[in-house]
């Protein structure tokens, strides 16, 4: 875990104040049970083989209307890309996450993946994701092997966000940009790929349509919103890959 001075602020309270509600305290709804993914499918060699496969798989059905497959389907939204860094550790693959700095305009204090807007000089969304990861947390692009481009999520802040899953080699050096990031931490991929850890919330406010979002709580971190649904979708992608490979 790596922090900047901004992490001394109670970012959860700040987030709830800005949103007008506490994401952690909204009602939890029942979800149909899904199997966890077995450990052998969460190893680097399998991920390197499975994730790049050209495979048709079903997006999380509760949020299917919020995903598209290319930017042309959402021309009015600002294009962005994030990296889903799968870090190789002796104890297994971990997912690197950040807590955004408290002064940011969008999603201040929230748990997110490193990433940002697609710039004109970027050669691809992979270039964007790796560039932003380097700028925000200091991981050099040569340490990251891109494995897959996931479906684009249309956020409620008018971004079209393309997740890029990347396998990160060991021995990289973190260098946090405090203007963007308050904290960096890691969560075991096996834990995130266990649907028993996924919760579905319903936010209901008077005279507004109900809103639904996923969350995962890891230790003191409440992962929710766009980050959580990208993790949930990665579960569906991996589950579909495992099924296709085992039934080939």
Domains plus CATH for the chain? 2-246 (3.90.79.10)
Half-sphere exposure (CA, 13 Å, Cβ side) for 26?
Answer: 23
**pLDDT(84) > 50:** yes
Query: Could you read off the pLDDT of 148-188 as tens digits, one per residue?
Result: 999 999 998 899 999 999 999 989 999 999 888 989 999 99
Q: What DSSP string describes 174-214?
A: ----TTTEEEEEEEEHHHHT-GGG-EEEEE--TTS--EEEE
**Coil, strand or helix at 138:** coil
At 122 the three-state DSSP class reads coil
Element (H, E) at 83: strand 78-89
pLDDT band at 7 (very low <50, low <70, confident <90, very high): very low
Rounded Cα gap, residues 134 and 184, in angstroms: 13
- pLDDT confidence tier of residue 11, bands split at 50, 70 and 90: low
pTM of the full structure: 0.92
CB 138 within 8 A of CB 176: yes
Encode pLDDT of 46-68 as tens digits.
999 999 999 999 999 989 999 99
pLDDT of residue 185: 96
Phi and psi at 180, nearest 5°, equal -120, -35
What is the pLDDT confidence band of residue 194, given thresholds at 50, 70 and 90? very high
């Amino acid at each position: 875990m790596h922090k900047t001075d901004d992490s001394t602020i109670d970012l959860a309270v700040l987030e709830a104040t800005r949103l007008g509600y506490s994401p952690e305290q909204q009602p939890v709804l029942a979800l149909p049970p899904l199997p966890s993914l077995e450990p052998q499918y969460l190893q680097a060699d399998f991920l390197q083989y499975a994730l790049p496969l050209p495979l048709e798989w079903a997006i999380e059905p509760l949020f299917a209307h919020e995903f598209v497959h290319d930017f042309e389907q959402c021309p009015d939204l600002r294009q962005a890309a994030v990296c889903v860094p799968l870090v190789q550790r002796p104890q297994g693959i971990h997912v690197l996450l950040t807590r955004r700095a408290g002064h940011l305009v969008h999603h201040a204090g929230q748990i997110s993946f490193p990433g940002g807007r697609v710039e004109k000089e970027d050669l691809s969304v992979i270039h964007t994701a790796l560039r932003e990861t380097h700028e925000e947390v200091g991981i050099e692009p040569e340490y990251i092997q891109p494995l897959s481009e996931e479906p684009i999520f249309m956020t409620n802040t008018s971004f079209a966000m393309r997740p890029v899953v990347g396998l990160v080699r060991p021995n990289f050096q973190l260098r946090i940009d405090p203007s963007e990031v308050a904290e960096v931490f890691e969560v075991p991929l096996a834990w995130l790929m266990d649907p028993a850890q996924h919760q579905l919330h319903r936010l209901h406010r008077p005279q507004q349509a109900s809103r639904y979002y996923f969350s995962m709580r890891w230790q003191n971190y409440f992962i929710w919103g766009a980050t959580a649904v990208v993790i949930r979708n990665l579960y569906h992608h991996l589950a579909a890959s495992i099924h296709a490979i085992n039934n080939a």
